[in-house]
Amino acid sequence: MNANNAVSRSRRMVTPDGRNAAETASAKRSSPLPQPSRPFVLINMAMTADGKIATANRAISTFGSRRDHDNLMKLRTTADAVMSGARTVNSGKITLGPGGPRYRRLRRRRGLTEYPLRIIVSGSGSIEANAEVFKHRFSPVIILTTRRIPSAKVRQLRSLAAHVKICGVREVNWGMAMRWLARKWGVRRLLCEGGGHLNDAMFRAGLVDELHLTVCPKIFGGRTAPTIAEGTGVPTLAAATKLRLHSRRRHGDELFLVYVRHKTARRPERPAAVSSGR
């Protein structure tokens, strides 16, 4: 067996509780301190071969295989909380839940609550009151927003969510938000599932510890089709988030990549903000 085959086999190894080697290593990296000052943050996204996470008209945003869906649900079994932006939550039957019984068993086996805390981010409060996530009461829903949100909307969301947290004046202050989640809700590991504006804010804030990326064998095209990181972006190459490839797996025609923060990457002194309207 050559070296490449040995590496490939090691990356496909599965532990007795159903995790592959990448998931196991990720879980070990996520808990460096008994009470961390902020959660360990991982982003999980699926994208086409041309880097799109939805079509330009946003009519199609789910296109991965069953394996990709299973990968998403298994990552949720490792997180205290699952987070998405308002547009993602408004887009369809999104509950941010743990999935079926076998995934809930995995959570319990890992010492987590059966259902994760659910977090929605919107600087302007643009979350629809009839969103699917509010119709399922299995775990608390937390909303992170700013003082831009109208008072009437605050009252409405407070009637639907467990907590509406104001984190900033016009933009979400991510340093404040992450410290609050760790202190108030005991969030040690946070899974972010987009969309692109939220991901961009997390990258610019220097808060992303891992990026789990599924590359799917499709081409969407479209100059306005969303990508995994949109929003403000960075102005220079030096300001770009620096990552290191930790693992790669191939299943059929899909690639499952895990990137980790480069050790030399420096966190910005001031936390980045979510783009307005998200």
Q: What pLDDT score does 13 carry?
A: 35
Q: Looking at the predicted structure, is the pLDDT value of residue 272 above 50?
A: no
**pLDDT mean over 140-153:** 96
Q: What does the pLDDT look like over 174-193, one tens digit per residue?
A: 999 999 999 999 999 999 99
Q: Looking at the predicted structure, is the pLDDT value of residue 17 above 80?
A: no
What are the domain boundaries of the chain?
Answer: 36-261
Contact (Cβ atoms closer than 8 angstroms) between residue 127 and residue 120: yes
Q: How far is CA 174 from the centre of its chain?
A: 14
**Stated pTM of the model:** 0.83
Contact (Cβ atoms closer than 8 angstroms) between residue 257 and residue 213: yes
Q: pLDDT-derived band of residue 28, with 50, 70 and 90 as boundaries?
A: low
**pLDDT mean over 250-269:** 81
CATH of domain 36-261: 3.40.430.10
Long-range CB contacts (< 8 A, 24+ apart) of 53-56?
53/194, 53/195, 53/196, 53/226, 53/227, 53/228, 54/220, 54/225, 54/226, 55/220, 55/222, 55/225, 56/220, 56/221, 56/222, 56/223, 56/224, 56/225
In the chain, the N- to C-terminal Cα span, in Å, equals: 50
Closest of 162, 129, 131, 132 to residue 144, by C-alpha: 162
Higher pLDDT, 167 or 275: 167
Q: Compute CA distances 245 → 91, 102, 190, 198, 212, whole Å.
A: 31, 30, 20, 22, 10
**What does the mean pLDDT of the chain come to?**
86
DSSP 263: T
Q: Looking at the predicted structure, is the pLDDT value of residue 267 above 80?
A: no
Q: Looking at the predicted structure, is the pLDDT value of residue 21 above 90?
A: no
Q: CB-based contacts of 139: which residues, under 8 Å, 6+ apart?
A: 97, 113, 115, 116, 117, 118
Closest of 151, 181, 222 to residue 81, by C-alpha: 181
Contact (Cβ atoms closer than 8 angstroms) between residue 37 and residue 185: no
Q: What does the pLDDT look like over 32-57, one tens digit per residue?
A: 444 679 999 999 999 999 999 999 99
